[in-house]
Structure formats: structure tokens, C-alpha cells
Structure 1
Amino acid sequence: MTTATLSAAAPYLINQDYSSYTEEQHSIWAELVGRVLPELEKHAAQEYLDGFQIIGLKRDRLPNLAEVNARLGPRTGWNSTAVSGFLPSQAFFEMLAARKFPTTVWLRSRESMEYTPEPDIFHDVVGHVPMHAHPVFADFLEHYGRVCVATPEEPIREKLSRLFWYTVEFGLIRQQGEIKVYGSGLISSHGECLNVMGGHCAIKEFSLAEVVNTPVKIDELHKLLFVVNSFDQLYEIMHEAERLATSGRL
């Protein structure tokens, strides 16, 4: 899928005006990154930490998406693509299928540093983009987009959205006998990360059948999340989800 075929997403594509960011915004970025990095260095999956370095994220300056993409594209073909805001589902899936991650370019204010209801550049880039440098995860995410584009049935899309939620947004992985975080909602939320690592959230072995039937609650800290043992397992889960979605048995 090429940019030319992004019919649903096209109205939302914009350019990042990097020169428009103020020193106050760079300062907010530095404070946000400074808050989460110490916890991430202890609790994030190694693939995430590697990706943070690979794409050249800076601790004290907002990311220039053109510079990020110059590092990311040759590695996995993914692109952090600026969008004007929240996308309808079909537009979002189209972009994932084209290996273009919809990235908001606005940054939360100092008054909203603890929480913002809409994704901002901190959530999108720090939360998501480092994982796009990992080839297996990158393939999983593109495959997810392609399956959703080809699945018009809303009940099945709802179940697929739960798969996304409990992997891409709030995914956990077991590495060297420890639980590590890789989902963007855990990466970019100090409170959610501490909730899991502090033992306040039940953790179950990943079961596709259970995951797609576990409702999502966005207004409270998670009480249940699911852990995979490898990103190869995640890739295979996506193939299983495709088979079930295609047959209408998801």
C-alpha cells in the first residue's frame, strides 16, 4: 500500500513545522523524558531501549520526524508520519498497512503533563516509535493494519482492537525471567508503569481467545494485562488472529 492509496488517511496528513516549537516546549519534552527514562531503563524491553537509541531520540529536544525517519526507514521501512490529530479507524489501519505510523505533532502543556486524553508527540514518539525499529514487531504491526483494512465487520474489528490494546498499547514481555514493558501506554505513562511493576495489576499468560474477549477500560489503571514470551510469539498470534478473522470465528 502506497501513500497514493491512503484514501481515508489523506485528509489528515500534514507536515511537521519543527521550527515552530518553542523553548518552553523543548523544556516540557525534556521534563517528560526525564521522568520516564529512569523507570524505562529498569523495566522496558531491551528492544525498546535499543530502538530509542537507533532512531536518535534526544532527551532535551523534541524529535524532528524527518531525522527519525532517516534512521528508521532503512532499518524496517517504517515512517513516523505527521497527522493533524485523531484518525478514524479506517485511516489509521490504512497507515499501519503502509508502514506509516500516524504521529501527532502537538505537545501537551505544562498543566497537562500528568495526563492528556488525546495522544501527543510524546506518547506517539516515545511510546510507539522505538519499537518500530525492531523487525519482528514492525512486521507484526504492518500485518495488523492489513488484516484490519480487510475486515469490515465491526464486531470482529472490536475484537481486533482489543488485540492492539493489550499488545501495542499495554503489552508485556518476559525477558530473562522478568516482566518487561513494551506497550506505548505503559512506556509513556509513569502511573501505568508503576501500577504494573508495583504488583497492583494481575498478569496472565497471553491467550488470544481471552485477550479479544477482555473489555478495554480507559478511565482507570489496569487490573489485568497479558504477557508474551517473545516477539516471535506476537507475530504468530497475529497470524492466528488473521485466520480466525477471515473465517469469522474470532
Structure 2
Amino acid sequence: MDKSSHVYDTPPAGANADWTVPQNWEAFSADEHAMWDQLFARQTAMLPGRAADAFMRGIDVLKLTRPGIPDYRELNARLTSATGWQIVAVPGLVPDEVFFDHLANRRFPAGNFIRAPEQLDYLQEPDVFHDVFGHVPMLADPVFADYMVAYGKGGLRSLGFGALDHLARLYWYTVEFGLIQQADGLRIYGAGIVSSYAESIFALDDPSPNRIMFDLLRVMRTQYRIDDFQQNYFVVSNIEQLLQVTVETDFAPLYARLDSLTDIPAGEVLADDVVVTRGTQEYAKGAGR
């Protein structure tokens, strides 16, 4: 395999059985720290008024004493105090059961690399900026933190039902690309949006995508795009909704029902959807990031 892809079949040299590695903060180069600073400055300047209140409150967790990629020794002291979570370094993408186990035990695995300058606006594999800047602020919110634990535990159970594809859609449309309806308007909270300058604008301002109120079954039936802006975004009324539906739903009969239903293509609007804004889908017809 291409080691530069940060995708491994087995734990690489130096990794523990749970795929964690030492962060080795001191080993990051000046250029790598500068890339973090550039990304951090750009996002924090444009997110007020766009990002969810919970995210903006959580951004204080990232206000560390040193510039550059956060040192997890300092970051975890603050995050653990807030919600009991900690960030652990991993070499890249980890197997599903490893990922779920980390979440179930309040550990968020973060890629131990940062994008190159030519990947400033987009990279397919999550780097330390996506994983830490994108995810940590919401993990400082107690309700969202509990949702992530519940998701991790549910993920471990899902492996026995062969339902991983359906559960992955729940993560994608909430943790990665979720919107929330606040009293002062729609806001972004998904890590895939808040860590992306272009999608932070597209998700709220562009007329192309549909924005649909969250429904668990609907979300778990809906396909998604991994290499471009989303055609549908799902909107929660509040973070408590995510926790409640995850904790209170018996997923076993839900998985059985999903097996008998067809998938819904990305970008499709159903007759019974509660639509916040119906998109033109003009971007979807065209063209890429």
C-alpha cells in the first residue's frame, strides 16, 4: 500500500494494538505548525455567525498557550475536565471496531499528520486539523459528548447486525455534516463543514443543496458523497435530539426494517420530508470542488 495515504491494513510500526501512537508533538516541523496556524486563523475569522453556539463555546478549548498544532498534553487537560474526553493520536484511518471502541470510551482518534500546502482547501483523508479543530469543540459540549459515546457503543453493537453502512450515514449526516436550527437561524456544527472554508459557506449560503429536518430512519437510508459538497444536509432542532434518539431507539428492529427498504439517492427530496430550504441542485449537476 501507499504509506503516504495514511490508510493501513494493520497497525504500522510503532502503533499500539488499539492503533494509538505517541503524538510526538516536538517532532512536528515549523512548516507543519504554520499550516495549522493558517487554517486556524482562517476558520476562526469566518465561523462566528455561522457555527453553532456549542461549537463557538467549545473553541475556547483550542485556545492554547502555544501556536501551532495543539499539544495533546495541554489540550486533554482542558477537554477531560470539561467532558471526560481525550484526544489520542493515530497514524491514519483506523478499523471500524477500533474507532467505535475509542468513542465508547471517550477517546477521539486524531490523525497524526497535517495536510500539505496544495491540500489547503480539501483533502479526502482526515488530518489533525480536521480531527482536532473540527471535532474537539463539540466534544467540549456535555450533551454532544454523551451522544458520541452512545454512537460508539451503538457502533460496536451494529457490527453484529451487518448494519455498518446504515450507521455510518448517521455519523456522516450529524457528526461530520450536520446543521442545527437555532433561534437566530441555521448554523453548522459538523466537523467536515466547520473545518472546511468552502463548505462552511456552501452549506449555509449556496442555493444548491437541500436542507431537511432530521429524521433517523430517513438519514440512515440516505446515500452521501465522500468527495464533494453534500447535496442534502440534515438539520437537528437541538443537540439533545441527537442524544435522545440514539439512546432511546432500539436499533435491532430498525436495522431489520432498513434491510427491506431501498436506499435514497443523495440529493433526493421525499414527499414527507420536512424541508427547510429546497435546493436547486445546480451544483450537483456540475462540477466538483
User: How does the TM-score come out when normalised to structure 1?
Assistant: 0.90
1:136 counterpart SS class = helix
After superposition, the Cα gap between the structure-2 partners of 1:59 and 1:152, relative to the gap in structure 1 and judged at 3 Å, is same
After superposition, the Cα gap between the structure-2 partners of 1:11 and 1:137, relative to the gap in structure 1 and judged at 3 Å, is closer
Structure 1 residue 54 and structure 2 residue 50: aligned? no
Higher helix share: 1
**Any gaps of 5 or more consecutive residues in structure 1?**
1-8
Match of 1:237 among 219, 233, 245: 245
Match of 2:233 among 225, 231, 242: 225
Instruction: State how far apart, in whole Å, the 2-side matches of 1:28 and 1:55 are.
Output: 16
Aligned-partner residue type, residue 39 of structure 2 = L
Bigger Rg, which one: 2
Match of 1:146 among 150, 153, 160: 153
Q: Where in structure 2 are the equivalents of 1:28-67 lying within 5 Å?
A: 28-57=35-64, 60-67=67-74
Match of 2:194 among 187, 190, 202: 187
**RMSD value over aligned CA atoms?**
1.8
Count of residue pairs brought into register by the alignment: 241
Instruction: State how far apart, in whole Å, the 1-side matches of 2:30 and 2:42 are.
Output: 18
User: How does the TM-score come out when normalised to structure 2?
Assistant: 0.79
Q: Which residue of 1 aligns with 2:209?
A: 201
Aligned-partner residue type, residue 207 of structure 1 = D
1:140-181: CA deviations, max 9, x gaps? Answer: 000000011122246422111100000000011011140001
Instruction: State how far apart, in whole Å, the 2-side matches of 1:154 and 1:123 are.
Output: 30
Greater shift in the superposed pair: 42-51 or 148-157? 148-157
1:170-197: CA deviations, max 9, x gaps? Answer: 0110111400011000011112111112
1:204 counterpart SS class = strand
Q: Where in structure 2 are the equivalents of 1:170-185 lying within 5 Å?
A: 170-185=177-192
Instruction: State how far apart, in whole Å, the 1-side matches of 2:66 and 2:210 are.
Output: 32
Question: Residue 55 of structure 1 contacts residue 72 of structure 1 at CA under 8 Å; is this kept in 2?
Answer: no
**Any gaps of 5 or more consecutive residues in structure 2?**
1-15, 259-289
Q: Which residue of 1 aligns with 2:118?
A: 111
After superposition, the Cα gap between the structure-2 partners of 1:145 and 1:193, relative to the gap in structure 1 and judged at 3 Å, is same
Q: Which residue of 1 aligns with 2:82?
A: 75
Aligned-partner residue type, residue 95 of structure 2 = P
Q: Where in structure 2 are the equivalents of 1:117-156 lying within 5 Å?
A: 117-153=124-160, 155-156=162-163
Aligned-partner residue type, residue 22 of structure 1 = S
